Amino acid sequence: VGIFENEIQNTIRVFPNPVNNVLHINSTEASRIQILNMLGSIVEESTIRKGVNQIDAASWTPGVYFIRVSDGVQLNVQKFIKQ
């Protein structure tokens, strides 16, 4: 893993993992996000602001999800679990 990839990973923090009802996303800048299920279907799409953001995950089916975050230059994908 190169230095540049580590910098991208540090632009957001997703917690808690696993999530029950509310997913928190701490971002170093405003970004577009997409939440995808294991089939690649988008279950949530929105713009987040710099700082801590909350996404309602209560209605999502339990399983593995991916969050795709883009600031227009960098793309970051992280995996998390919905209980």
C-beta of residue 75 within 8 angstroms of C-beta of residue 69: yes
What's residue 3's pLDDT?
A: 45
What's residue 2's pLDDT?
A: 46
> DSSP letters along 29-82, please?
S-EEEEEEETTS-EEEEEEE-SEEEEEE-TTSPSEEEEEEEE-SS-EEEEEEEE
Give me the residues of the chain with pLDDT under 70, please.
Answer: 1-10
pTM of the model as a whole: 0.83
